[in-house]
Structure 1
Amino acid sequence: MFEINIFSVINSLIASSFFITCCLLLEKLIIKGKISNKIFFFIFSLIILRLLFPLEIINNTHYIQFDYLLPIIVRFFNTLLFNIELKAYSISFTIFDLTILCIFLISMQKCFKLGMTYYKLHKCMEYFLPSQDEKILHIIDILRSQIHFKFKIKVVKCNLIDAPFEFGFFEQTICLPSKNYTEEELYFILSHEIYHFKNMSNWFKLLNNILASILWWHPLTPFMNTSMITIMEINCDEHIIKKFDNRLKAKYLSCLINETKYQQSQKLDVAIPFSHINGRTLANRFKFITSKSDRSMILSLFCVLSTLSLFFLSFFFMPLPYCEVPSSEVQVPEFTIDNSYIIKEGSHFIVYYNNEPYIYLETMNESFSNLKILENP
């Protein structure tokens, strides 16, 4: 019933690219306070699922013909490079096989590097003793009663850290620079990092980093990566400023500016990773905090239902290559009942050869009269 082939992989990439574009557009609406940032995380989950399942639903897929571009791409990737002859059978390698192999190896290398970064940071955290600063402990107690979190938090201060960040999946750690903060600044910073844990931002950040490592070759990946980081930060900012008046919002923004200036003033030869502030992300956070929230339930509902519908439809519609091939390049295989069959799509017919769509027919041809015809419901 399900199958993975070159066309289903292309279809999966096209669908996921569309959803990534939707996320980039929705980011603008979230920053303006028009829709909830939860919609962004919902569509991000759809992207992950669509990439994990590049499936074609056999006998239920409707094909959309492309006259030039897609056939050129498919023919290029199907170009035979070499054969490996074995005793029982031979193995053919095409440009598509080599491309997938290269992408897989580089993706694994990037995932391994990412895993080592997380592992090294985890080992570093084991050597840091929890801060015994009375101001920090007092504010943690206040936040525990206000935010109602139950997990344990370890706060560490280190001169190798140039900006606050959170780390940990089962042992939550907040890392702070070796800097003298006021109680108000500590309240803002610790609140923000605790909300990262409560909103499971650390898990979303891990998925985002893995996705960026696997899709390193995709032109939209850098934009999606930055957009995801922005929405995670905005998600925490939203919880913090919910009950703030304009005076407290101004102080919170001032704290963000001070942290940026401090980071830029530090020139560390060795720095802990994950602690760098992105300029675009900071600018968007400012826009969100200073914007008046005017969320539309109708717009939010439309975004959810339309993307969810398109997600399921993407499994039932697939681009199909179609073009006129020069007669000198035509290599007609021998169609038999063992290697071929026909699927009827409405008034049209698609001839499958070795379980791959091979010919698209407007009307039935007598040359294929010996093949079995299957109705596509």
Structure 2
Amino acid sequence: MEEEAVDFQVEEEADPRRVMEDLMSQSFASHDGPLWRARLVRGAAGEDCPLEEVRASFPHTSHLILGNHHGIADGTSNVRTYNLLLKILNDVIAGRPIDDQEQLGEMVSDDEFRAMVSAKLIELEEDPENLQRLVEEKKRVKKSVPLLLQCYPSLEGTEMKTEVLFEELDEDTTRRFFQRCKKEGVSVGSAFTALVNGATIDLAKKAGRTDDTFTLNESHALDVRRFLSGDASKHLGLHITVLHHAVEAPAAWRESFWAYARTLHRSLHAKLSEDGHLLESCIIEASQTPSAADKATSAFPPPFEDSVCTNMRNLDVLCPDVVGEHVQATRILRGASNHNLAHFFHTFRGRFLYSCCFSAHILPGDTAKALVRSIFDNLRSFL
């Protein structure tokens, strides 16, 4: 940018969730910038601080909502940036000097990952019949209608706008959930995905579905940095890919939940070990035609996934500087402008934090709320 533009506003006593939803509904000036914006929502003394030991020394709570174009950053970039912002803020308040010349991160292209995809595609092209089978299979999956949308269609004319639902577990419940997952031999991400699927099945049964089994399509966001050579921990930018997955679930899933969660866990990790993170990109490239690649459209295709899951695990690893002497972060929630149904979850400062992003023009708000309520009611019942 020839002239730096900052899109920052302070709002008094606003609802942070509504501010977040408003930011998600606003487009970015892609050619001119800026490709990020921020809103500071001032809170009242003692408001909403979940940590009692912090509340005594830090009685004033505010909410910082940071939004950016997804083309320039992913969740890891955003969380690292937030950590650096807090570090600088504490240094400024403390009067410590700031070195403006120090580079705090590296904007890196996805060239290495694209090369991995190209190498995998060359390998797949050695068996054209199998590659064509994979392409046709993906076409069939993308024509499927998510189970909840079959059972709970949204009303015509509903506004196309992302809405957000939040939930969190306290430290004790978080610890017990993680311990139970470890005891049962499943990852937290697999167990939570199984809970999402189970709640989806229950809502379908409530709507009258009588199937004995259900196969639900999942999309899992993956951090590409874990597959790159060398130290990619400081890579900023967009470095994610998607792993699609589906496994059969019994209608009576609750009676054998942990067995179902183990089946899902094994299947998901087997797909990952078989280069599933590369396969999706390869199929997209193999499916492209010159006309399709050149055609630009603003219309969103109807969703085919029953769920999109993005699990960033323990954010404390990416945020070592949030416990400052002048400013502390007590809660971090993530989300993205979304036209299907996406589940964002991670832990931060010992608590499991969750956001559900959806658009009511796709899924009715009451249905989304019932789904989230069912997920967490079931989670607590399995502890």
TM-score norm. by structure 2 comes to 0.24
Higher strand share: 2
Structure (1 or 2) with the larger CA radius of gyration: 1
TM-score norm. by structure 1 comes to 0.24
Higher helix share: 1
